[in-house]
């Protein structure tokens, strides 16, 4: 009989009483009296039948005659208690008035109480109600204890007491099992301490001895190595009960298994100091280790080197193969770098594709250079298998050395980053040692960032236009809008200086919006003046990814009442392939406005021909890198011819960029390239200068009108 089930059975609204007596008269009187006072009853004249009814109905109370033939009441009581080990159901035995032996025998058999015969009916009901009331109280105690036991089990909590007179510990059932300790209800301290690892043992012994000898309370965390060979973390605290002699008599304590909590804390701590993708130390841990290494080096009088590492062309890998593959490369490179590093050195991932190495005992600059050379040589023969492709990578590395370059950890990291940026600016695949003029360059760059942020408000930005002409007659039919910055501080700033800075800082979005609006406004004006030309507007990756790009373009078209077909939005194939499926959808939405779409710098990325057919394009622009070498004998313009042929097979117009001489022009014209753009025709010019060009009927030698153009 389950104790838990009986907790619910014990909540019957009308108590059920089982009456067992072979005397039919007495049995009938008991049943009628109980029923008269709203008790439900079941009855039996035989002991064996009574046991069956007990098992079947689980009554709230049993009235059992002691003396019955075949199976007497004592035997019946013992059988009932075999099914009710916790004595949840009270059993009242009916015995003779002076039968003291029967009373003792009844209690030994498991009876709860007894009533003597002849029955005193006035007291009978009071006795029954008292026993049932006691049962209700017992049920409440059991439920409370059950809840407490469940709560403690769920929280891995248990209570213990230590009898200082006997030296015995008492743990409730299940507590020792929770701790992985051999199950005993009583265990001595000397046995318990053997489960504590040696590293924690002295501390635990000291706390318990202070409690025993001085009555000192303790709060303690330590480990227990269970008999199951599992290590657990426990939290203990105690109170001390003093005896009449004012000396400690009992120690009462609690113990909680906090292993899961400690594991979670360890995981959180690990994540706070390690990169989630590569599991390398992160920037915080790297800086702490560098600070410690500097302190050691200060006393040992040796150098410490910080190497800032950037994977070259990582963004290209991300854009062409996807971010998941990019992450695979980062994990693989982290493993490669960790395997390369010596014991005692630290390899960390700082952010994105930037890593760092800490060399704690580098002997000299030449030794550091040898280490970097060995790293580069190992990397040249290392291939990374990504998405079925073999990928080779190169690194831009910057080195800063303690104490030569700085003595502060943060500043030393900044120095290494400055050197790394210089290596990257010079084309990558090289290392640079920090020099003190690099910080000046960093300060200049930060200053330029602030000035660029103010350029919009200060009206320092201007849109220039580079003409595009038809090859058949050199007539201007379109322009490409290009942003220029006339800074009061720096003069006319080359795009190569401020565009990468704008992309890195996010300023490219407001700059892109500025170009979009001004180019459409100016072209709409020219259209109104009778010049049927279109304008090409470059979209940066950030601008193209804006959720409201389509709405921005629509608003500009409506605002300036321009024919949408005179707006040509240019995106690079790298941008188009970043999320091809999603970008195809956005390109169709742009096309629904009536604008044209061009793929700029075609041939420099990794676009798939299957996707190229799906892009709703109007124009392919051949990158200037293919036009530049178009007349070399060994090349014979094969790539340009192939691009032109492919574009025409897809009903696309072709624009060649970077045309600088007549030979290039003649070659492109001969192979049916419809439009050219480049310094042969004109450099980018201001809107006023282009207006003058348009007035010349667009077909004269344009360079005579743009002598001072940037």
Q: Where are the domains of the chain?
A: 3-151, 155-263, 278-435, 448-705
Q: What is the CATH number of domain 448-705?
A: 3.20.20.450
Residue found under tokens 């292993």 = 259
| Band (454; pLDDT cuts 50, 70, 90) | confident
| Mean pLDDT, range 28-52, rounded to an integer | 93
- Give mean pLDDT, residues 356-380: 85
| Residue 391 vs residue 395, higher pLDDT | 395
For the beta carbon of residue 245, count every other beta carbon within 10 angstroms: 7
Check residue 697 and give its pLDDT.
Answer: 59
β-strand pairing of 461-470 with 476-487: antiparallel
- In this prediction, residue 604 carries a pLDDT of 56
Residues 461, 483 contacting (CB under 8 angstroms) = yes
Structure tokens at 171: 């743990």
How would you label 579-599 residue by residue, b for 16+ Cβ within 10 Å and e otherwise? ebeebeebbeebbeeebbbbb
For range 525-547, the mean pLDDT: 92
Residue predicted with more confidence, 150 or 698: 150
- Asked whether the predicted pLDDT for residue 659 surpasses 80, the reply is yes
Which of 364-368, 429-433, 656-660 is least confident? 364-368
Q: What is the pLDDT of residue 404?
A: 84
CB 88 within 8 A of CB 1: yes
What's the rounded Cα separation, in Å, for the pair 535 and 527? 11
- Per-residue pLDDT at 122: 80
pLDDT tens sequence across 615-624: 899 999 988 8
pLDDT at 2: 45
Which of the residue ranges 125-129, 582-586, 622-626, 643-647 would you say has the lowest mean pLDDT?
Answer: 622-626
CATH code of domain 3-151: 3.40.50.2300
Non-local (6+) Cβ contacts of 657 within 8 A are 601, 621, 622, 623, 624, 627, 677, 678
Note the pLDDT tens digit of each residue in 540-577: 888 888 889 999 999 999 999 999 999 999 998 778 77
Quote the pLDDT of residue 652. Answer: 92
- Provide the pLDDT for residue 90: 94
Confidence of residue 290 (pLDDT cuts 50, 70, 90): very high
At residue 96 the predicted structure's pLDDT band, cuts being 50, 70 and 90, is confident
Report the range of poorest mean pLDDT among 253-257, 300-304, 564-568.
Answer: 300-304
Evaluate whether 3-151 and 155-263 have a shared fold. Answer: no
The mean of the pLDDT values for the chain is 86
Fold of the CATH domain 155-263: Beta-Lactamase (3.30.450)
Q: What interhelical angle do 323-340 and 365-380 show, nearest 10?
A: 130
The CA radius of gyration of the chain, in Å to the nearest whole number, is 45
Say what the pLDDT of residue 698 is.
47
Q: What is the pTM of this model?
A: 0.47
Q: What pLDDT shows up at residue 305?
A: 93
pLDDT above 90: percentage of residues in the chain: 48
- pLDDT-derived band at 151, boundaries 50, 70, 90: low
Report pLDDT for 603: 60
Domain covering 278-435 assigned CATH 3.30.70.270 in the classification: yes
The DSSP annotation for 393-424 comes to --EEEEEEEETTT-SSHHHHHHHHHHHHHHHH
Task: Give 709's contacts (C-beta < 8 A, 6+ positions apart).
Answer: 682, 683, 684, 685, 686, 689
What is the pLDDT averaged over residues 267-275?
91
For residue 63, pLDDT over 90 is answered with yes
Flag whether pLDDT at 580 surpasses 80.
no
pLDDT at 97: 62
463 contact partners, CB below 8 Å, separation of at least 6: 481, 482, 483, 484, 514, 515, 518, 519, 522, 687
């Amino acid at each position: 009989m389950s104790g838990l089930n009986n907790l619910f059975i014990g909540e019957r609204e009308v108590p059920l009483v089982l009456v067992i007596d072979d005397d039919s008269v007495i049995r009938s009187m008991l049943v009628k009296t109980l029923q008269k006072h709203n008790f439900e009853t079941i009855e039996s004249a035989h002991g064996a039948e009574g046991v069956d009814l007990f098992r079947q109905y689980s009554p709230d109370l049993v009235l059992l005659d002691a003396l019955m033939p075949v199976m007497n009441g004592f035997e019946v009581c013992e059988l009932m208690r075999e099914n009710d080990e916790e004595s949840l159901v009270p059993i009242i035995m009916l015995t003779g008035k002076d039968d003291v032996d029967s009373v003792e025998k009844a209690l030994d058999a498991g009876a709860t109480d007894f009533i003597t015969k002849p029955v005193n009916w006035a007291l009978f009901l009071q006795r029954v109600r008292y026993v049932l009331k006691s049962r209700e109280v017992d049920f409440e105690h059991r439920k409370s204890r059950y809840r407490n036991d469940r709560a403690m089990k769920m929280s891995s909590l248990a209570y213990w007491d230590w009898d200082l007179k006997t030296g015995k510990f008492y743990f409730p059932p299940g507590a020792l099992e929770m701790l992985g300790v051999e199950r005993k209800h009583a265990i001595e301290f000397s046995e318990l301490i053997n489960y504590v690892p040696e590293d924690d043992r002295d501390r635990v012994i000291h706390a318990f001895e202070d409690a025993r000898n001085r009555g000192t309370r303790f709060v303690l965390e330590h480990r227990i190595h269970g008999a199951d060979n599992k290590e657990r973390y426990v939290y203990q605290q105690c109170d001390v009960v003093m005896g009449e002699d004012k000396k400690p008599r009992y120690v009462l304590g609690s113990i909680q298994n906090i292993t899961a909590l400690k594991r979670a804390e360890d995981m959180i701590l690990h994540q706070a100091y390690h990169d989630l993708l590569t599991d390398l130390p992160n920037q915080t841990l790297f800086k702490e280790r560098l600070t410690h290494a500097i302190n050691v080096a200060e006393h040992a009088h040796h150098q410490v080197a910080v190497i800032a590492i950037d994977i070259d062309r990582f963004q290209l890998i991300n854009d062409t193969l996807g971010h998941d593959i990019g992450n695979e490369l980062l994990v693989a490179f982290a493993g490669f770098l960790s395997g390369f590093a010596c014991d005692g050195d630290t390899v960390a991932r700082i952010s994105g594709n930037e890593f760092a190495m800490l060399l704690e005992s580098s002997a000299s600059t030449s030794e550091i250079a040898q280490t970097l050379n060995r790293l580069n040589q190992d990397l040249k023969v290392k291939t990374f298998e990504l998405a079925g492709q073999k990928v080779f990578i190169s690194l831009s590395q910057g080195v800063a050395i303690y104490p030569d370059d700085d003595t502060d950890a943060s500043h030393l990291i900044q120095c290494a980053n400055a050197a790394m940026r210089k290596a990257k600016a010079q084309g990558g695949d090289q290392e640079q040692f920090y020099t003190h003029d690099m910080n000046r360059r960093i300060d200049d760059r930060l200053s330029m960032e602030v000035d660029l942020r103010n350029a919009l408000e200060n009206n320092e930005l201007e849109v220039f236009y580079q003409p595009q002409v038809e090859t058949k007659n050199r007539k201007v039919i379109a322009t490409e809008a290009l942003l220029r910055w006339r800074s009061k501080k720096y003069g006319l700033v080359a795009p190569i200086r401020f565009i990468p800075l704008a992309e890195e800082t996010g300023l490219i979005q407001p700059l892109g919006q500025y170009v979009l609006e001004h180019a459409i406004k100016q072209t709409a004006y020219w259209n109104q003046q009778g010049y049927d030309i279109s304008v090409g507007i470059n979209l940066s990756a950030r601008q193209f990814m804006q959720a409201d790009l389509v709405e921005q373009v629509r608003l500009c078209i409506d605002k300036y009442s321009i024919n949408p077909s005179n707006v040509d939005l240019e995106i690079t194939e790298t941008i188009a392939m970043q999320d091809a499926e999603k970008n195809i959808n956005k390109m169709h939405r742009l096309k629904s406005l009536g604008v044209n779409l061009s793929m700029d710098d075609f041939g420099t990325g990794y676009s798939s021909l299957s996707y190229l057919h799906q892009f709703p394009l109007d124009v392919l622009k051949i990158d200037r890198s293919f036009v530049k070498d178009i007349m070399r004998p060994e090349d014979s313009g094969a790539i340009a011819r192939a691009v032109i042929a492919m574009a025409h097979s897809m009903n696309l117009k072709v624009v060649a960029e970077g045309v600088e001489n007549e030979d290039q022009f003649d070659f492109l014209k001969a192979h049916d390239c419809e439009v050219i753009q480049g310094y042969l025709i004109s450099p980018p010019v201001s809107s006023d200068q282009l207006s003058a060009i348009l007035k010349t009927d667009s077909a004269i030698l344009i360079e005579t009108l743009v002598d001072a153009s940037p």
